Amino acid sequence: MKRKNFRLADVLTLAVLLGLLVSAPVMASDEETDMDKDAASVSPSQISRDRINAIRANEFFYQSYGKADPFSVLVAGDFEKNTASELVDMNSAQLVGVMWGQDDKFALVEDGEGFGYILRVGDQVRHGRVVSIRKDSLTARVTLYGITNKVVLKLEKTEG
């Protein structure tokens, strides 16, 4: 048999590791008994109070230099009502499509200038409101100079 030669440093390292392995369970059991004694003498409410105070003691700092403020308001300013110029004129509008869902239905309308609008029942249009939306039409009641008219936009079928 060949005999292996070990260096003194290797032997000392193994001895220290063996000592740590042997003493680790003894040290752990001593810590557990100390903790059990502390837990038995302290009420659960005191433990939770200590945990809450430890959490409150943490201070957080947000470094915002060069970054956008994540807490700033996304939409600034006051609410502004739609003016008559922003509402769709039903006399020059064309019904482009109707969308149906389980809870909602809305019409896609394009005005004479090519701007698109999404309208639901009850939405305002210039000088009136949308009264109903059907699968192929939109009906609005428009009052102009004291005369109320019913304007119906029908969906035109396109080929292809």
CA distances from 33 to 8, 25, 27, 43, 76 (A): 38, 12, 10, 17, 60
User: What pairs with residue 1 in β-bridges?
Assistant: none
Strand segments (E) across the chain? 94-100, 105-110, 116-119, 124-125, 128-133, 137-144, 147-154
**130/136 Cα distance (integer angstroms):** 15
**46/26 Cα distance (integer angstroms):** 29
What is the chain's pLDDT, residue by residue, as a tens digit (160 residues)? Answer: 455 555 666 767 777 676 666 655 554 445 555 555 555 677 888 888 888 888 777 776 767 788 887 777 777 777 766 665 678 888 888 999 998 888 888 899 998 888 888 899 999 888 899 999 998 899 999 998 989 999 999 988 776 5
CA distances from 65 to 50, 61, 62, 68, 69 (A): 34, 12, 9, 8, 9
